[in-house]
A and B are shown apart, each in its own frame.
Chain A
């Protein structure tokens, strides 16, 4: 049986393609001692539901409708990512999209057209348990009105196999904030959980000051993290920065995902926040999705992370890329 992925394994596995049979499998409580099983049951009773292993996938920043030199292929990476997930012999339980589903536009009727185009592509996923949050490109211009008309509430919570998932909206107010109303809702939502409850927050912007001068922060992110601070097992999944990044604040782990449109530079470097240039020789470079595998080490839930490159063999040659680019206007 494979072991749960720790950070070292995650780093080792980062960059591998998501080939058939690669989906990480963990048998429910296999190899666990009777003490471990008893503890898992106890925690399950405390949390409302016993944790059982499962897998899910994070997509981010698909920017449906984007046109421009950083990615002349539009939704091709998004469509390829859907195909990759569909090819898995064992399907993940759910799919999370962490914002910027669409690219903003002020053309009459085009915002809604893009928001309808998104589910056309996402709807090809074999997994139908799909959860989304907005990014500023979806909801920053109209306070989230169009987004909510298509996708429903922009913040909500649900439970899945003993894990509490929280969708937070830190974009709809124009500024990078969650806002007092949503923070009050979060306080009430968390009240029923003991500190041992595994919690996964998914949102668009980082909930900590990653790089405020690039607008990579949430103004009241500290208030959110203070509410989550008493909990032992908190993971925050987010997008917005179009690249992988991992950081801890207290005991919480924050993981940023790559986009499916273009990359951004390393925030540790000085300079401008400009999209990384498109590489016709490697059209999916800097893009990708993330697979997450929740397993149990003893009674402790562990989230294994696999960064997934998109396969681009068919697009790698000159002929291939020229076929894709046929009719694409580089102006």
Chain B
């Protein structure tokens, strides 16, 4: 019994001491507002784990980039974090896929993986 408790304590200590890749990841803030993202372009490195920190300044937006397997809602009033490790270089478009009004169809940004 005592051995079991010790193992759990050691595991907890190890988790606290060695942060997960997501905790280590470079943070990239992206702000959504009708009908644009800011910045309009971000550069990522192939194989580098990054966390996109998505915030909405007005209504619920979406963030879809199929090639990078990202599909997230961005509700207003809180941060939405998405961790990604791009495996292919290229220029990808992320779009808002939560209908947000008249300019919704043009709300997009570029994710450039080098």
Contact = CB atoms under 8 A, between A and B. Distances in A.
Interface in A144-202: 171, 174-176
Interface string B93-112: 10101111110110000000
B56 interface: no
B34 to A, nearest CB: 10
A106 B105 contact: no
A104 B101 contact: yes
Q: How large is the interface on A (under 10, 10 to 19, 20 to 34, 35 or more residues)?
A: 10 to 19
A268 to B, nearest CB: 17
B36 interface: no
Interface in A208-249: 209, 212-215, 219
Contact of A219 (B60, B71, B95, B104): B71
B62 interface: yes
B41 interface: no
Q: Is the interface of A mostly helix, strand, loop or mixed?
A: loop
B71 A215 contact: no
B43 interface: no
Contact of A175 (B62, B93, B102): B62
B54 to A, nearest CB: 15
Given A175-B73, A219-B71, A212 B101 contact: no
Nearest to A212: B66
A26 interface: no
Contacts of B64: 212, 215
A243 B62 CA distance: 25
A175 B101 CA distance: 12
A174 B71 contact: no
Nearest to B99: A140
A213 B99 contact: no
Contact of B66 (A141, A171, A213, A273): A213
Nearest to A176: B97
B101 A106 contact: yes
A293 interface: no
Contacts of B66: 209, 212-213
Contacts of B95: 213-215
Contacts of A61: none
Given A104-B102, A212-B64, A215-B97, 7 more contacts: A106-B102, A140-B104, A175-B99, A212-B66, A213-B95, A214-B95, A219-B71
Give the top 10 A-B pairs by smallest Cβ distance, nearest first: A140-B99, A136-B99, A174-B98, A212-B66, A213-B93, A174-B99, A175-B98, A215-B97, A175-B97, A215-B95
22 contacts: A104-B102, A105-B102, A106-B101, A136-B99, A136-B104, A140-B104, A141-B99, A141-B100, A171-B99, A174-B60, A174-B98, A175-B62, A175-B73, A176-B97, A209-B66, A212-B66, A213-B66, A213-B93, A213-B95, A215-B64, A215-B105, A219-B71
